[in-house]
Homo-oligomer: A and B are copies of this chain.
């Protein structure tokens, strides 16, 4: 049932993600438990569908490397991207709670995932309340992200939506150390942006060009450079402080 190709497991003890300041420390005992809870480590190619809408009892994943996104579609094919996933994001809590996954997850880049046993999730709740709390925290945090996106899509203009999304992705990526001197490599097409913002591809393009023309950012070959981040924040009415260290499961 696991979609993806198993590859040798990197050691949890020396997990490079955990070295990032973005994530909070964890007890050795909890880390040992997590490394036993982890049943596989998989690699998937760009475009791979990790979870399909309707999948039953999918596993729980942590995105280890690469980018992905969560989405839903209507039966005629219209697609709404719910949120983007970056390394450290926990995937499938919702899907695990209900009979069938209500959404799908697709990799934006070649990606790797830690795979956790769904069956033994109960052991985690029974024996590691701090980890259980972390799972709730991550779920609430993801909901907060969807809340933000809903605010954008419901009440911001196209230009404001673009500004809010770019700021959000930039700040998240920055927290993970993914921003380089020449900006951030966004592994997404304008179609993804359109589907995340609830606007058409053409309108997305025209809006982005306009924002580039007035000097808010550069965007060439998928590389995003914020030339006027404050103006972008003001336009979006989006002012997020950098997150404190967050749990990593």
Contacts and interface: CB of A to CB of B under 8 A. Distances in A.
Interface of A: 72, 74-76, 78-80, 82, 93-94, 97-98, 102-103, 122, 125-126, 129-130, 132-133, 135-137, 139-144, 146-151, 153-156, 195-198, 237
Contacts of A137: 97
Contacts of A98: 140-141, 144
B141 A143 contact: no
Question: Which label, helix, strand, loop or mixed, suits the secondary structure of the A interface?
Answer: helix
Question: Would you list the 7 A-B pairs with minimal beta carbon distance, nearest first?
Answer: A154-B198, A125-B129, A143-B143, A80-B154, A78-B155, A94-B140, A80-B151
A137 B135 CA distance: 10
A97 B136 contact: yes
A140 to B, nearest CB: 4
A10 to B, nearest CB: 27
* Copies of this chain present: 2
Nearest to A135: B136
Given A129-B125, A156-B74, A139 B143 contact: yes
Nearest to A234: B75
Contact of A72 (B74, B133, B151): B151
B144 A136 contact: no
A126 to B, nearest CB: 5
A142 B144 contact: no
A133 to B, nearest CB: 5
A154 B82 CA distance: 10
Given A129-B125, A146-B143, A146-B147, A155 B79 contact: yes
20 contacts: A72-B148, A74-B151, A74-B155, A74-B237, A78-B156, A80-B154, A82-B147, A82-B150, A93-B136, A98-B144, A102-B144, A125-B130, A125-B132, A132-B132, A135-B136, A142-B143, A143-B146, A146-B147, A154-B196, A154-B197
A155 B73 CA distance: 9
B156 A153 contact: no
Contacts of A102: 144, 147-148
A228 to B, nearest CB: 19
Contacts of A142: 143
